[in-house]
Structure 1
Amino acid sequence: MPIVPVNKIVTVSPTLSEQLMQLHIELEGNNSIGRNIKFRGPVNLGPEVMALRLQIDSYSYIARSSRASTSTIGSYCCIAHNVEMGMGRHLFHHPSISQSFFKNRFFMRFSGEIEDRDPDLDALGGDVNEVRIGNDVWIGAHVKFPKDVTVGHGAVIGTGTIITKDVPPYAVVVSGGGTRFTKNCQVPFFRRNNQRPA
């Protein structure tokens, strides 16, 4: 996969957007990217999408106003608008919930630099949770992933669902008075066997 190195979050200029289009990643406008993106094109990121530490495979798209951070997305995935993948972690057992005591990026100019490596966050894998999406997954609008989770191949996640545990392959997950798994999707043979259509 090509790697696009970006050291900080940047709003993508028309020039950079055109360069990325030649690599088969289409940005639809006012996108922000940062901290290394890996992709195998073609890929589409809708308007206002923010992508940080993202790996995304071919023929997948993320619709408008979504955020994908510290996430891996397989091929042929459909991700609707206003989805949040890779949300920040907060540690409740510290003397204060405020990040200013252990991850000082918001207030460094006022209080001076504080070591950015918190051992408790390191033990959890970093300050942002990790989301792993399989191939051929459909994620509805306004879905949130506040924990480390894996979504299996072929799964469908309904609009407005909050995913806090792993989703089995081909499961249908809906929300309404609590998240619940329904029966598995009826899928064609090539999807069940993780094959691409001819």
Structure 2
Amino acid sequence: MEKNRLKREDQFRHPALPKGSVVKVPRLEVGDGTGFSGPPKIKGGRACSIGKYCGIGEDLRIITSDHSTTFPNLNVMLQRRITGHSGHTSKGPVRIGHNVWIGDRVTVLSGITIGNGAVLAACSVVTRDVPAYTIVAGNPAKALRPRFSAEKAKFLDELRWWHWSPKKMAAHADFFASDFEATPLEELQKLVAPDDAST
């Protein structure tokens, strides 16, 4: 029984991509505890990193390079045959922070950084960076509102709870069960000892 529990915990902390996932990037990093509701498609000429404890819906698309529209030809195979290179361009790698919620059928384009705790609504097409703790939606995705006040967002980022051990998280169950938006910051701070926040 204990062996099975440890196996399940290990799978949660060291996630495997779902069966059917398509990964065609030079490097992909996925943090502990991140879960996928369905197989993502991650492709392109640049790397992609996804932080810890993210919740990712079905049919996520991450594209880390793009077709250049400045050449006479747009067909990649023909371009490679004629010139020896694909003609792809990129604005850089894709970086997704910790504890980000990504809805179903979201597309993230090259060079995008998504801050910790952000929410990408279903079917969003993300063409610009998303600030931490911000909810975005649409095509192209636009900011709807921040999840929390600037003070509470700063408190969460400095707390860095996603680096805690499972044991420490369990010991702070009251903090995780709190209505973070409605509870005064002073009360939230009391639920987590400041000198204990980095372990």
TM-score with structure 2 setting the length: 0.62
Residues 90/138 of structure 1: CA separation in 2 closer, same or farther (3 Å cut): same
Q: State the SS of the aligned residue for 1:102.
A: helix
Contact 1:46–1:65 (Cα < 8 Å) also in 2 = yes
Q: CA deviation at 1:87?
A: 5.1
Contact 1:141–1:160 (Cα < 8 Å) also in 2 = yes
Q: CA deviation at 1:147?
A: 3.2
Counterpart pick for 2:110 among 147, 159, 162: 147
Residues 115/77 of structure 1: CA separation in 2 closer, same or farther (3 Å cut): same
Partner of 2:37: 63
| AA partner of residue 195 (structure 1) | R
Partner of 1:86: 63
Any runs of at least 4 consecutive aligned residues in structure 1 with deviations exceeding 4 A, and if so which? 187-190
Gaps of 5+ in 2: 1-6, 169-199
Partner of 1:115: 84
Higher strand share: 1
Of the structure 1 ranges 89-98 and 150-159, higher mean CA displacement relative to structure 2 is found in: 89-98
Partner of 1:37: none
Q: State the SS of the aligned residue for 1:103.
A: helix
The 2-side partners of 1:94 and 1:132 are apart by 28
Residues 148/133 of structure 1: CA separation in 2 closer, same or farther (3 Å cut): same
The 2-side partners of 1:194 and 1:130 are apart by 26
TM-score with structure 1 setting the length: 0.62
Deviations 1:147-186 (A, max 9, x none): 32000011011000000000001101122x7532022113
The 1-side partners of 2:143 and 2:120 are apart by 9
Residues 194/51 of structure 1: CA separation in 2 closer, same or farther (3 Å cut): farther
| AA partner of residue 120 (structure 2) | I
The 1-side partners of 2:23 and 2:53 are apart by 18
Gaps of 5+ in 1: 1-20, 27-40, 105-110
| AA partner of residue 115 (structure 1) | G
Higher helix share: 2
Partner of 1:76: 53
Counterpart pick for 2:97 among 120, 134, 145: 134
Residues 25/102 of structure 1: CA separation in 2 closer, same or farther (3 Å cut): farther
1:180 aligns with 2:142: yes
Bigger Cα Rg: 2
Counterpart pick for 2:80 among 98, 103, 109: 103
| AA partner of residue 60 (structure 1) | T
Deviations 1:11-43 (A, max 9, x none): xxxxxxxxxx9xx568xxxxxxxxxxxxxx511
| AA partner of residue 95 (structure 1) | P
